[in-house]
Structure 1
Amino acid sequence: MSLKRTWLAVPAVLALSLAACSSGGGTGSESGTDQSGDAGAGEVSAEMITANSTEPQNPLIPTNTNEVGGGRVVDLLFSGLVYYAADGSVHNEAAESIETEDSQTYTVTLKADQTFSDGTPVTAASYVDAWNLGAKGEHLSAYFFAPIAGTTEDGLIESGDTISGLTVVDDTTFTIELKQPESDFPLRLGYSAFFPLPQSTLDDPEKGGEEPIGNGPYKLGGEGWVHNERLQLVPSESYTGGRTPANGGIDFIFYPTQTAAYADLLSGQLDVLDAIPDEALATFEQELGDRAINQPAAIFQSFTIPESLEHFAGEEGILRRQAISMAINREEITTAIFSGTRTPARDFTSPVIDGWDGNLTNATVLDFNADKAKELWAQAEAISPYTGKFEIAYNSDGGHQAWVDAVANQLVNNLGIDAAGKPYPDFKSLRDEVTSRTIKTAFRTGWQADYPALGNFLGPLYGTGAGSNDGDYSNPDFDALLSDAAAAATPEEGTALLQDAQEILLEDLPAVPLWYSNVTGGYAEVAQNVEFGWNSVPLYYEISK
């Protein structure tokens, strides 16, 4: 008879992903020391911290939030079964234990006497019912439920109104049955798709998304959510987990540009900034001194060419995608525009993730080779002549114009085509067209990892039907390798299969990899204990002033 084991106590299970970000954490440890004798780590400041952000694209339902502006808020409003520390290590939060005998059926036991910020109890049903809601067709994060028995390949409920692989045992216990053994499945449970919801939100998701009630370290407070202006959070008295707030709240300000946010940081009007504008990359470390943040992060940048665009499907499309990729001089752009705070991409993941390999066979498509690019474009022209302008859409509030213009100019010079950037006023405007599939151009894309694993960069973005598969890419051979990797007996076997899957992506190029990002940011003189995590997000709850 096999012995039941507690997942977090088994190092072999975690090897694939938990060592991932050892190089990405720690920069904030020096900058976060208490230098002034004011409120330090573990002490609570009554003052609210100001931080930059963007207007969330959607109402704040965790399973329908897959972008940074909304993601950073729901991560503070809600608690998962586990949470990720700055270095990517995993810690139980709402879960007392996550146990399994076979890596296919997991028993989750919740800590007792937890409540939402409205005082109602957090129960096993709070999780199971929220996941069932997320596995409906209108929710962006349904793909994350695909491993669970009773869901389709894209994570939707297979039959009826509930996922058959989820069973509530009692108020503090539920079980998760997977379609196949997946030893790293519990690692994913700190992602927002797996957060719980109170009954009031389950009954009225529209109201719950606008006035969210969570079980996390913060709750909506102060001025609340003032659309297109700011969103304020205050500490939740009901929270008992490990992310205890050291401040009086977070005031997220929605800036029209990163330039405006940086100006406020320099003038002392903003406490924490998580992105430096292009024009300040060469000088911000001198301007901010030891308050500057420049560290590796699990961030991948690209632009996506939808499968639906004319001339970009089939053999012709692959030739054109490869030609465009090889016409881009990534080294030149990362040096001239980003002052070395970006690294030219060699794959679709991130060097800070364990198992990364910068020497994949098909990565030659990412090498700058103008002659080969022209040759490939000419081969595509022989299939069907290209007419019109190749445009790359981007959001003007995100500091993307300089690199988009540089890429477009290189395509003009190296392919002889008409190419240009297409600006949108803000992130939401761009994403609304992307998610509604009304966009008619290529568009900038990026991925900030949900959990520290190679597969998180691949499945959610390029798996058939995945919630963040913005270009509607589909390749059954790629999907099969993802599935095989998830079921691999060892982390090493899984990594090898994922790299085979990447070889397919480098052939098909559903997105054109550009570079990996460092997180570049900074904080005001009054801010204390500032630390940026493995995924580039500040640990807001630690900050005081």
Structure 2
Amino acid sequence: MRYSRTSKILGIAAVVALSLSACGGGGDDKSAAGGGDTSRVIIADGSEPQNPLIPTNTNEVGGGAILDLIFAGLISYDADGKPQNEVAESIETKDSQNYTIKLKDDQKFTNGDPVTASSFVDAWNYGAAAKNAQLSSYFFESIDGYDEAAAEGSTVEKMSGLKVVDDKTFTVKLKQPESDFKLRLGYSAFYPMPAEALKDPKKYGEHPVGNGPYKFDGEDAWQHEQQIKLVPNEGYEGPQKAQNAGVTFKIYQNDTTAYQDLISDNLDVLKVIPTSDIKNFKNDLGDRSIESPYAGNQTIAIPYYLDNWKGEAGKLRRQALSMAINREEITKVIFNGGRTPAKEFTAPVLEGYSDSIPGHENLAYNPEKAKELWKKAESIQPYDKSEKLTIAYNADKGDHKTWVEAVVNNIKNNLGIDVAGKPYATFKEARTEATAHKLTGAIRSGWQADYPSLANFLGPIYTTGAGSNDAVYANKKFDAAINKGLSAETVEQGNEQMNKAQEMLLADLPAIPLWYQVAQGGWSTNVDNVKFGWNGVPLYYAITGK
């Protein structure tokens, strides 16, 4: 997932469906092999990672963008979201519960250490162990022995379902048959780590050693709050081999400055166009722009540890808040039609999506009904006005202030309560407060898919104890529904169960879905071969100079 980055994919059909609608670009689609200057270092916009760069502890876009370039997993996903083997030679199973994974020969980390079966097994065990408190530990939940390792206060450091057979082979036993398991293995939580990482994770996270298409450019590659410099890994021979001389992520404090740098050719690729420039960016950039749906959404999460938002009264207030927001108007006026009002918790580009799940009416603009629900909540438990409602957002990336203010005005006008936006200087600061469960109000909580699946938008965010559960939502019936969907025999049955689970979310509203995201980005006159992938992220490795 990733916070928009921290989940399990429901089948290859989902990938195929997504490939029809979620990628594209405005320029030529020629490959680097067909032309382009491979000697150029690409300058891209970035954000300061929340934490040191440990694969199992990164669930946001700033860190995720770096990890996906410096590591290679067992599989990867191409531009259309189709899985392809990377480090894995084969991933085999006869019963969808017991898997044998064999690695390709001559795989190495950039420090020269070999990538072995233990590189994966040890990293996954580290990620699952409770004492390590990793944000992405949830992703190992399906593996036998996870519950024992992840239990609070547990001293168990290894999952019983992982066994090293030899240097190139390991086995995985799941708690139950899950035929889609191997399709999850391209996500960063499943990346391998060298032995040195586990000896001193904090130090390693400041200068990670990976096995992917890029590596850190020297000891000072990560200049905090300024830039992160990557150069090609000459030892990488996989499907995402660098077609340029490196990628430098320039860390901006706001997207407006980044956009001006793009216009003046001081920035090569910008992933998100600022809200203030959405109406003009196509005219400004012409065929150097993209506007295309992808697997992402925007929500507002409201923690259950806030007294006004607990119990039945809190549930009614959540519904009232949702109905007080005019999504149609905001997406039309502020985003120039470049967003689509949400009808549920996932994204329309995914197979199994439905806009008519029972409870979807709670996402429709209905100010009169909102007032009724708020009044009903008051009769159960009066609203504590000393606990002012705020909506936290990061001011450095995404240009969120404009739409947050519009949402705030909707709520004020329709419900008559005191509410305000709460800006954080950086995305890192906002995520740190959310992760520590120290929010004093709601928080904007967008999601960028890790896998093309409904489950990826549900399990990692709303199951009990999940690392990205900002609302601290806990519903055993919801957890059981997600588990049932993951173990379904067919994609269709799995999707049906996921949407059954969504019925609970649409009633409880631990987060309030706002709209579905659209990739709106652009690039300079200095680069070529720019394409955005199925998840709205530029394919940095394929970009060349002109």
Q: Which of these residues, 42, 65, 75, is aligned with residue 72 of structure 1?
A: 65
| Conserved 8 A contact 1:25-1:86 | no
Residues 1:152 and 2:147 are matched in the alignment:
yes
Q: Which of these residues, 154, 158, 164, is aligned with residue 160 of structure 2?
A: 164
Residues 1:53 and 2:18 are matched in the alignment:
no
Residue 209 of structure 1, CA deviation = 0.3
Residues 1:139 and 2:134 are matched in the alignment:
yes
Task: Give me the whole-angstrom Cα distance separating, in 1, the residues matched to 2:195 and 2:21.
Answer: 38
Q: Which of these residues, 188, 196, 202, is aligned with residue 200 of structure 1?
A: 196
Task: Give me the whole-angstrom Cα distance separating, in 1, the residues matched to 2:18 and 2:45.
Answer: 24
Secondary structure of 1:353's aligned partner:
coil
Question: What's the TM-score, normalizing by structure 1?
Answer: 0.95
Residue 466 of structure 1, CA deviation = 0.5
% same residue: 53
Residues 1:62 and 2:55 are matched in the alignment:
yes
Residues 1:380 and 2:381 are matched in the alignment:
no
| Corresponding residue of 2:484 | 484
| Corresponding residue of 1:395 | 394
Task: Give me the whole-angstrom Cα distance separating, in 1, the residues matched to 2:150 and 2:20.
Answer: 33
**What letter corresponds to residue 390 of structure 2 in structure 1?**
E
Secondary structure of 1:21's aligned partner:
helix
1:456-492 deviation per Cα after TM superposition (whole angstroms, max 9, x unaligned): 0000000101111111101011000001111111111
After superposing on structure 2, the runs of 4+ consecutive aligned residues of structure 1 that deviate more than 3 Å are 12-16, 23-26, 29-34, 39-44, 153-159
| Corresponding residue of 1:213 | 209
| Corresponding residue of 1:429 | 429
| Corresponding residue of 2:452 | 452
Per the alignment, do residues 151 and 44 of structure 1 end up closer, same or farther by CA in structure 2, a change over 3 Å counting?
A: farther
| Corresponding residue of 1:439 | 439
Which runs of structure 2 are paired with 1:128-277 in the superposition (5 Å)? 128-137=121-130, 138-152=133-147, 160-221=156-217, 223-277=220-274
| Conserved 8 A contact 2:36-2:529 | no
Q: Which of these residues, 298, 303, 327, is aligned with residue 295 of structure 2?
A: 298
| Conserved 8 A contact 1:142-1:154 | no
**What letter corresponds to residue 444 of structure 1 in structure 2?**
R
Residue 13 of structure 1, CA deviation = 8.1
Task: Give me the whole-angstrom Cα distance separating, in 2, the residues matched to 1:473 and 1:155.
Answer: 18
Task: Give me the whole-angstrom Cα distance separating, in 1, the residues matched to 2:520 and 2:505.
Answer: 28
**What letter corresponds to residue 54 of structure 1 in structure 2?**
S
| Conserved 8 A contact 1:144-1:155 | no
Which runs of structure 2 are paired with 1:256-335 in the superposition (5 Å)? 256-335=253-332
Corresponding residue pairs, total: 530
Task: Give me the whole-angstrom Cα distance separating, in 2, the residues matched to 1:311 and 1:160.
Answer: 38
Residues 1:517 and 2:517 are matched in the alignment:
yes
Aligned-residue RMSD, C-alpha: 1.7
| Corresponding residue of 2:93 | 100
**What letter corresponds to residue 496 of structure 2 in structure 1?**
A
| Corresponding residue of 2:4 | none
Residue 153 of structure 1, CA deviation = 8.8
1:2-57 deviation per Cα after TM superposition (whole angstroms, max 9, x unaligned): xxxxxxxxxx98344222412334422754437xxxx6558661221000010000
| Corresponding residue of 1:501 | 501
| Conserved 8 A contact 1:23-1:296 | no
Task: Give me the whole-angstrom Cα distance separating, in 2, the residues matched to 1:308 and 1:421.
Answer: 19
| Conserved 8 A contact 1:148-1:179 | yes
1:362-389 deviation per Cα after TM superposition (whole angstroms, max 9, x unaligned): 1000000000000000001111221142
Task: Give me the whole-angstrom Cα distance separating, in 1, the residues matched to 2:506 and 2:10.
Answer: 29
Question: What's the TM-score, normalizing by structure 2?
Answer: 0.95
Secondary structure of 2:221's aligned partner:
strand
Residue 506 of structure 1, CA deviation = 0.1
**What letter corresponds to residue 395 of structure 2 in structure 1?**
S
| Corresponding residue of 1:536 | 536
Residue 393 of structure 1, CA deviation = 0.6
Task: Give me the whole-angstrom Cα distance separating, in 1, the residues matched to 2:322 and 2:170.
Answer: 47
Residue 90 of structure 1, CA deviation = 0.5
Per the alignment, do residues 68 and 154 of structure 1 end up closer, same or farther by CA in structure 2, a change over 3 Å counting?
A: farther
Task: Give me the whole-angstrom Cα distance separating, in 1, the residues matched to 2:37 and 2:480.
Answer: 50
1:80-115 deviation per Cα after TM superposition (whole angstroms, max 9, x unaligned): 100011111110000011000000011111001100
Secondary structure of 1:361's aligned partner:
coil
Secondary structure of 2:38's aligned partner:
coil
Q: Which has the higher relative contact order, 1 or 2, with Cα contacts under 8 A spaced 6 or more apart?
A: 2
| Conserved 8 A contact 2:148-2:156 | no
| Conserved 8 A contact 1:154-1:465 | no
Residue 136 of structure 1, CA deviation = 2.3
| Corresponding residue of 2:117 | 124
Task: Give me the whole-angstrom Cα distance separating, in 2, the residues matched to 1:156 and 1:173.
Answer: 28
Task: Give me the whole-angstrom Cα distance separating, in 2, the residues matched to 1:328 and 1:71.
Answer: 31
